Structure 1
Amino acid sequence: MAEGRIIKALSGFYYVQAEEHIYQCRGRGLFRNKKITPLVGDFVTFDISNPNEGYIMAIKQRENELVRPPIANIDQAIIVSSAVDPAFSTVLLDQFLVLIEAKNIKPVIFITKMDLTSDEERSNMISYQKDYQEIGYDVELLSTKEPSHLPNFAHYFSNNITVFAGQSGVGKSSILNALKPSLLLKTAEISKSLGRGKHTTRHVELQQIQHGLVADTPGFSSLDLSEIDVEELADCFPEMREIKADCKFRGCMHHKEPKCAVKQAVERKEIAAYRYEHYLRFLKNNQSRKPRY
């Protein structure tokens, strides 16, 4: 028996890395019977039936997992937003942040296409960068047209399992190609008629990049917040999570309750008004959804 990590899943085979070797494995029938699917990123024990092939015998407990892309035990998600084309959206960014916070994954924000901005747009991006940095997020402004400075961001990848997130066309594949040109990921052109790009990735694989492992997928774009309980939503906003204990009422939803520390912080401009408005929007959407039986 040996231990390793699944770095690729393709056509029913799981490729498990153990030290410097990669073994082609199949999952045991036991997993199918229990409706358990091994995921890229899983730590597993496996039986080597010959020098290069074996069977996965057990999957260790996961720290976290995503559905799209199907991957487990992620350390961080780099959320890629573009300053323009498609236009920057704080609502979309906050949806991604909430989803990632809910999974206990560390978010990092990359804002691309800064070379295409007007003076006013650049000023707005710098202002947003400051807002999110004050919350505690790492935010980098970069150009995907001139990506030669990307190696300066190697510290984000070192010793981490990283997945990318963001809508199509913001430059995720371009960043990965710049970090590791041998990947040759297809970059998705923006569809002007639909306002979104085309999906170009078929399977998930962890690639060695900058002394870490990166999922070579343009990232997940599923933005369903309905899985997050309304009572836990505020915890996905770090600036609210930090002060919620100061609210008068335990279990305060930071909406209509009196003497709410969060609302008071918004009034004092210690919490950005647009972040609070997004919280209320997400809260309303989750409260209004029909219960599933």
Structure 2
Amino acid sequence: MPEGKIIKALSGFYYVLGQEGIVQCRGRGVFRKNKVTPLVGDDVVFQAENDTEGYILEVKERKNELVRPPIANVDQAILVFSAVEPDFSTSLLDRFLVLVEYNHIEPLIVISKMDLIDDEEKAQIDKYASEYRHAGYNVILTSSETAAGLEELHPYLEGKISVFSGQSGVGKSSLLNAIQPELDLKTNDISSHLGRGKHTTRHVELIKVRTGLLADTPGFSSLEFTDIEAAELNFCFPEIERKSEECKFRGCLHMAEPKCAVKQAVEQGEIPEYRYIHYKDFLQEIKDRKPRY
């Protein structure tokens, strides 16, 4: 039986990219019975009825999956945040990073609209970029207008399945169009009244960009820590995880515990204070979460 990858899901149909091209498939009833929903990014076994139509028979084991956007087997998340319009938000970026880290997906931080900022704003963005790099993240500063940073971005797109994610209105589609003009993705100007962009992406679809596949995903409206436990949050902040090995108590949550190496690192400026504040805020959010039964 042929195998392929789901590159689009729309109205109950799954578009599978196999060796012979794209086949429009339906899922067998057994999936519904077993409560398996095929996702974009799934590797599947399918049966072709003819050159263009068929049925999905089996969904292969996933290495990861995201709920929003619904996609599986992601290699990296390209997190696009604008320098301005909307303003760069470390809190929102850290929320994205935690969810990406928790799902064992490699993050890449891309800061867009660098052409729209003055020297003072640029100095602040450069400082943030330096701090995130020090934490262990790759950061690229870009502009779809001037093409700055695009060459630096290209190697990250080769041979990987990536999700292009970020707050609405940060210029994800503009950036993709600058990387690969023939995509001609729809873009909307940011709504100054609402302070956020209008949704222009309607469904999840993997598109070929350079030698990789990339999902241009809708902006997120909520990013909740529904599955992360308090003891796991530590592992979603790389610099906090590294420093926690020096804490006196194993399982230290870096809150009120004595001889906490993380709190000491924050006081000494080794870990940016805003990263620690976000860690504490997220930890409280997880602790306040209603239990699920």
Note whether the superposition's TM-score is higher than 0.5.
yes
The yes-or-no answer on 1:94 pairing with 2:97 is no
Change beyond 3 A, Cα 1:88–1:201: same
Q: Counterpart amino acid of 2:163?
A: V
CA distance in 1 between counterparts of 2:110 and 2:233 reads: 24
Q: Counterpart amino acid of 1:58?
A: E
Larger CA deviation: 196-205 vs 142-151: 142-151
Change beyond 3 A, Cα 1:149–1:251: closer
The yes-or-no answer on 1:246 pairing with 2:246 is yes
Contact 1:62 1:73 in 2 (8 A): yes
CA distance in 2 between counterparts of 1:265 and 1:169 reads: 35
CA distance in 1 between counterparts of 2:148 and 2:287 reads: 46
RMSD of equivalent CA atoms: 1.5
Q: Counterpart amino acid of 2:80?
A: V
Q: Mind listing any 5+ residue stretches in structure 1 that lack a counterpart? A: none
SS in 1 for 2:81: strand
Contact 2:243 2:262 in 1 (8 A): yes
Contact 1:44 1:58 in 2 (8 A): yes
SS in 1 for 2:104: coil
Pairing of 1:87-166 with structure 2 (within 5 A): 87-147=87-147, 150-166=150-166
Matching residue of 1:33: 33
How many residue pairs get matched? 293
Pairing of 1:193-232 with structure 2 (within 5 A): 193-232=193-232
The yes-or-no answer on 1:72 pairing with 2:64 is no
Change beyond 3 A, Cα 1:159–1:219: farther
Matching residue of 2:290: 290
CA distance in 2 between counterparts of 1:289 and 1:193 reads: 32
Q: CA deviation at 1:110?
A: 0.7
Q: Counterpart amino acid of 2:108?
A: V
CA distance in 2 between counterparts of 1:258 and 1:226 reads: 29
CA distance in 2 between counterparts of 1:40 and 1:259 reads: 46
SS in 1 for 2:49: strand
Matching residue of 1:19: 19
SS in 2 for 1:22: strand
Q: CA deviation at 1:245?
A: 2.4
Contact 2:81 2:167 in 1 (8 A): yes
CA distance in 2 between counterparts of 1:205 and 1:191 reads: 25
Change beyond 3 A, Cα 1:235–1:14: same
CA distance in 2 between counterparts of 1:174 and 1:274 reads: 30
CA distance in 2 between counterparts of 1:243 and 1:57 reads: 47
SS in 2 for 1:246: coil
CA distance in 1 between counterparts of 2:226 and 2:215 reads: 25
Contact 1:68 1:221 in 2 (8 A): no
Q: Counterpart amino acid of 1:282?
A: F
Larger CA deviation: 176-185 vs 34-43: 176-185
**TM-score normalised by L of structure 2:** 0.95
Q: CA deviation at 1:196?
A: 1.0
Q: CA deviation at 1:216?
A: 2.9
Deviations 1:177-228 (A, max 9, x none): 1122222211132222221111111111111101110113345453112321
CA distance in 2 between counterparts of 1:220 and 1:15 reads: 24
Change beyond 3 A, Cα 1:220–1:73: farther
CA distance in 2 between counterparts of 1:142 and 1:200 reads: 21
Matching residue of 2:275: 275
SS in 1 for 2:40: coil
CA distance in 1 between counterparts of 2:148 and 2:114 reads: 14
**TM-score normalised by L of structure 1:** 0.95
Matching residue of 2:10: 10
Deviations 1:212-258 (A, max 9, x none): 10113345453112321111011100011123222211211111101
CA distance in 1 between counterparts of 2:244 and 2:19 reads: 45
Contact 1:266 1:276 in 2 (8 A): yes
CA distance in 2 between counterparts of 1:46 and 1:222 reads: 34
Change beyond 3 A, Cα 1:267–1:152: closer
SS in 1 for 2:186: coil
Change beyond 3 A, Cα 1:148–1:281: closer
CA distance in 1 between counterparts of 2:210 and 2:221 reads: 24
